[in-house]
Amino acid sequence: MDTTRIKEHMAVVGMTGETIGAVDHLDAGNTIKLTKDDDGNHHWIPLAWVTRVDTDVHLDRPGDLARAEWSDSNPGDL
Protein backbone atom coordinates (compact mmCIF):
# COMPACT_ATOMS: atom_id res chain seq x y z
CA MET A 1 0.00 0.00 0.00
CA ASP A 2 1.38 3.35 -1.03
CA THR A 3 0.55 5.46 2.03
CA THR A 4 2.04 8.57 0.41
CA ARG A 5 -1.21 8.85 -1.56
CA ILE A 6 -3.21 9.36 1.66
CA LYS A 7 -3.67 13.08 2.22
CA GLU A 8 -5.33 15.25 4.84
CA HIS A 9 -9.10 15.69 4.46
CA MET A 10 -9.55 12.76 2.06
CA ALA A 11 -12.85 10.96 2.65
CA VAL A 12 -12.61 7.54 4.30
CA VAL A 13 -15.20 5.24 2.75
CA GLY A 14 -16.56 1.88 3.86
CA MET A 15 -16.78 -1.00 1.41
CA THR A 16 -20.47 -0.27 0.76
CA GLY A 17 -19.75 3.34 -0.19
CA GLU A 18 -20.65 5.27 2.95
CA THR A 19 -18.25 7.93 4.24
CA ILE A 20 -17.22 7.28 7.83
CA GLY A 21 -14.92 10.27 8.24
CA ALA A 22 -12.02 12.20 6.80
CA VAL A 23 -8.27 11.86 7.20
CA ASP A 24 -6.71 14.18 9.77
CA HIS A 25 -3.24 12.64 9.29
CA LEU A 26 -1.23 9.42 9.41
CA ASP A 27 -0.30 8.58 12.97
CA ALA A 28 2.46 6.33 14.30
CA GLY A 29 3.17 4.94 10.85
CA ASN A 30 0.36 2.36 10.92
CA THR A 31 -2.84 4.21 11.77
CA ILE A 32 -4.97 6.96 10.29
CA LYS A 33 -6.27 9.61 12.64
CA LEU A 34 -9.68 10.82 11.50
CA THR A 35 -10.84 14.41 11.83
CA LYS A 36 -13.15 15.18 14.72
CA ASP A 37 -16.68 13.87 14.43
CA ASP A 38 -19.84 15.86 15.21
CA ASP A 39 -19.26 15.25 18.93
CA GLY A 40 -15.71 16.66 18.76
CA ASN A 41 -13.93 13.29 19.03
CA HIS A 42 -11.08 11.85 16.97
CA HIS A 43 -10.98 8.18 15.99
CA TRP A 44 -8.13 6.00 14.69
CA ILE A 45 -8.22 3.18 12.15
CA PRO A 46 -5.40 0.82 11.16
CA LEU A 47 -3.83 1.16 7.73
CA ALA A 48 -4.40 -2.59 7.38
CA TRP A 49 -8.08 -1.81 6.70
CA VAL A 50 -7.24 0.24 3.60
CA THR A 51 -7.77 -1.61 0.33
CA ARG A 52 -7.05 1.22 -2.09
CA VAL A 53 -6.57 4.97 -2.36
CA ASP A 54 -7.88 7.09 -5.21
CA THR A 55 -9.73 10.32 -4.49
CA ASP A 56 -10.92 8.56 -1.30
CA VAL A 57 -9.45 6.09 1.17
CA HIS A 58 -11.37 2.81 0.73
CA LEU A 59 -11.77 0.27 3.54
CA ASP A 60 -12.16 -3.50 3.56
CA ARG A 61 -15.27 -3.36 5.76
CA PRO A 62 -18.63 -1.62 5.85
CA GLY A 63 -18.86 1.69 7.67
CA ASP A 64 -20.92 0.39 10.59
CA LEU A 65 -18.31 -2.29 11.32
CA ALA A 66 -15.46 0.22 10.99
CA ARG A 67 -17.22 2.52 13.47
CA ALA A 68 -17.70 -0.38 15.90
CA GLU A 69 -14.03 -1.38 15.68
CA TRP A 70 -12.18 1.95 15.42
CA SER A 71 -10.15 3.18 18.36
CA ASP A 72 -11.28 6.18 20.39
CA SER A 73 -7.73 6.85 21.58
CA ASN A 74 -4.36 6.97 19.86
CA PRO A 75 -3.08 3.37 19.75
CA GLY A 76 0.46 4.80 20.00
CA ASP A 77 -0.37 6.17 23.47
CA LEU A 78 -1.21 2.74 24.92
12-64 pLDDT per residue, tens? 999 999 999 999 999 866 999 999 999 999 999 999 999 999 999 999 999 99
Please give the pLDDT value at position 76: 72
Q: Model-level pTM?
A: 0.92
Query: In CATH, what number is assigned to the domain containing residue 42?
Result: 2.30.30.240
Q: What confidence category does residue 74 fall into, taking pLDDT thresholds of 50, 70 and 90?
A: confident
| Domain residue limits at 34 | 3-77
Please give the pLDDT value at position 75: 82
Cα 30 from Cα 3, distance rounded (Å): 9
Domain count, the chain: 1
Distances (CA, A) of 78 to 28, 48, 61, 72: 12, 19, 25, 12
Please give the pLDDT value at position 77: 62
Cα 31 from Cα 40, distance rounded (Å): 19
Average pLDDT of the segment spanning 69-78: 82
Q: Which residues, in sequence order, are CB contacts of 21 under 8 Å at separation 6+?
A: 11, 12, 34, 35, 37, 43
